A = this chain, B = another copy of it.
Amino acid sequence: MDLKSLIRHARGDEPADLLLRNGRVVNVLSGEIERASVALAGEFIVGLGDYPARAAIDLGGAFVAPGFIDAHVHIESALVPPAEFARAVVPRGTTTVITDPHEIANVLGLEGIRFMFESAKFGSLNMYVMASSCVPATAMATSGAALHGYDLFPLKSDPWVLGLAEVMNYHGVIGGDDAVLEKIGAFQDRVIDGHSPGLSGVGLQAYVAAGVQSDHESTSAEEALEKLRLGMMVMIREGSVARDLAALVPIVTPANQHRFCFCTDDCQPADLLSRGGIDHAVRSAIALGMDPVAAIRLATWNPAQHFRLHQRGAVTPGRRADLVVFDDLQAPRPRLVFRNGELMARDGRMAVPPRPPSRSLRSTINIAWDAVDFRVPADGSRARVIGVLPNRLVTEALIDEPLRGNGAALADPSRDLLKIAIVERHMASGAMGKGFVRGMGLSEGALASSVAHDHHNLIVVGADDESMMTAARRVGALHGGMVVASGERILGEVALPLGGLMSAEPVETVRTQVEAAVAAARALGSPLHDPFMAMSFLALEVIPALKLTDRGLVDVGRFEFVPLWVD
């Protein structure tokens, strides 16, 4: 709609397309609830009050608030591309997400990011992108792509790119690493998001001084307050695994509430569909005592301000008509959701037809199968073992004596000592890391997955080589996915052909498949709540203590490779 037409609508000289009559508007600017009707025309809110309109909906006194904004989310964690992700979150009131596509970027680089844009295009959700700053996370694993400063520069001219995504390499920033500073320097005029769990003192000050403007990794009130005082926007994260809301909500006050917003970071399909995302965060914050208008402000105006989305985040004339309507201010559950003036969801269901499927991506499972051999030569007696801790991303660095047979070191399920392997899957280099793991708990069979943060090589954990090969091969045949196998049999699987990270199926289907695969893994003896989720972090070489990449075992604390055998 052109400016002149917008003004005519706002004057009331042209009838609005839709009048949301008899509402109670949540005004995140004044902190008030106002009885008013809201007039929409084209993609805009044109005015508040009794406007002439071509159509009207009587809200019966329901609340009207701005659409929710997820300040930081990795869509790939939901195992579906943006169009399907939207089907999960839009009915719950999230109309805008700020996403860091660093999972797909680790596999496919700029092509992966473009795929995410394309899947979101003309969809039901505003998907803004932060340019992934840490692809790959380190040089200690083989990723499918690397994004250097000169790769990121062109993204700046995309109107949907808002800045530089979470700068996870805070050591690099503080240490003055040239490659990291090149990226930060290029985005000094934009938003630069941070990621600095536990960082404090002068290290944190250096990180902030470099231009990093937010953090979503605070897990304690003390940590969040230090970051807030130093100028960071504090993103309160409530995801599937990391749940920081209860610890952080108590520090939000009227004087500092402008410096907080909500994010989910990583959410599984089941959580998005059952519990919710940002809507869940809003309800949780209110339940913990936060003023409802303030909680809604954290989910709307504050992230809009942080990300400089000046057309969104409030119910005022001239802004984009991203709106949610709900009945209970103490526990908002949107029953109508508008995005850009269009009704996108009603009563928890999409009100628009699904988008046609995203374009297909080339297969990203490129493995030199001839080189894949899960046999571990028995070159020592005592081996380093990765110790899995339930519901933690950190691992223990253990030492144990594997079984031996035919010159090979073997798994021993009776002692919960399984084999683990990382098979390079991007460029069929034949690179493979092998080792042992405790805590996955399989009594037989194997799990394999192409989701293995952040490089997303093929990760396999198993009790015997045959099962491992069956599972690994099946992931290959699916062009990516999560598989449970025993011997020659496939016991469960989720195909993730989009980059080896995302499914081409509806999100509800993916949820069911994941639940079945998890059940199959648990049937094989794993005591973990979600063995695949746990497994996906065993290859992440930036989180302590002992991890495995396709290049070998990494002692994260010393940030160096270590041999499998101690002696």
Query: Contact mask A292-321 → B, CB, 8 Å, 1/0?
Result: 011000000000010010100010111100
A310 to B7 CA separation, bound complex (whole angstroms)? 31
Q: Is the CB of A3 within 8 A of B255?
A: no
Q: Is the CB of B29 within 8 A of A319?
A: no
A490 to B460 CA separation, bound complex (whole angstroms)? 98
Q: Is the CB of B229 within 8 A of A32?
A: yes
Chain B residues, CB < 8 A from A225: 30
Chain B residues, CB < 8 A from A314: 231
Q: Is the CB of A208 within 8 A of B254?
A: no
A206 contact from B11, B203, B305, Cβ within 8 A: B11
Query: Contact mask A37-65 → B, CB, 8 Å, 1/0?
Result: 00000001011110000000000000000
The reply to whether the CB of A359 lies closer than 8 angstroms to some CB of chain B is no
A176 to B7 CA separation, bound complex (whole angstroms)? 7
Q: Is the CB of B11 within 8 A of A174?
A: yes
Within 1-28 of A, Cβ neighbours of B (below 8 Å) are at 3-4, 6-12, 27
The reply to whether the CB of A379 lies closer than 8 angstroms to some CB of chain B is no
The reply to whether the CB of A391 lies closer than 8 angstroms to some CB of chain B is no
Query: Contact mask A208-245 → B, CB, 8 Å, 1/0?
Result: 11110100000000000100111100000000000000
A209 contact from B174, B253, B317, Cβ within 8 A: B317
The reply to whether the CB of A184 lies closer than 8 angstroms to some CB of chain B is yes
A42 to B47 CA separation, bound complex (whole angstroms)? 48
Chain B residues, CB < 8 A from A181: 3-4, 7
Q: Is the CB of A316 within 8 A of B7?
A: no
A210 to B7 CA separation, bound complex (whole angstroms)? 6
Q: How many residues of A contact B (CB 8 A)?
A: 58
Nearest-neighbor residue (CB-CB) of A253 within chain B:
B31
Within 170-212 of A, Cβ neighbours of B (below 8 Å) are at 173-174, 176, 181, 184-185, 188, 201-203, 205-206, 208-211
Q: How far is the CB of A428 from chain B (nearest CB, A)?
A: 39
A30 to B260 CA separation, bound complex (whole angstroms)? 11
Q: Is the CB of A176 within 8 A of B48?
A: no
Interface residues of A (CB under 8 A from B): 3-4, 6-12, 27, 29-32, 34, 44, 46-49, 173-174, 176, 181, 184-185, 188, 201-203, 205-206, 208-211, 213, 225, 228-231, 253-256, 258-259, 293-294, 305, 308, 310, 314, 316-319
CB-CB nearest 4 A-B residue pairs: A31-B255, A231-B316, A254-B254, A10-B209
Chosen A-B contacts, 29 in total, with CB atoms closer than 8 Å, are A4-B176, A4-B181, A7-B173, A7-B176, A7-B206, A7-B209, A8-B176, A10-B206, A10-B208, A10-B209, A11-B174, A29-B231, A29-B256, A29-B258, A30-B225, A30-B228, A30-B229, A32-B255, A46-B209, A48-B230, A208-B316, A208-B318, A209-B317, A211-B318, A230-B317, A231-B317, A231-B319, A255-B293, A258-B258
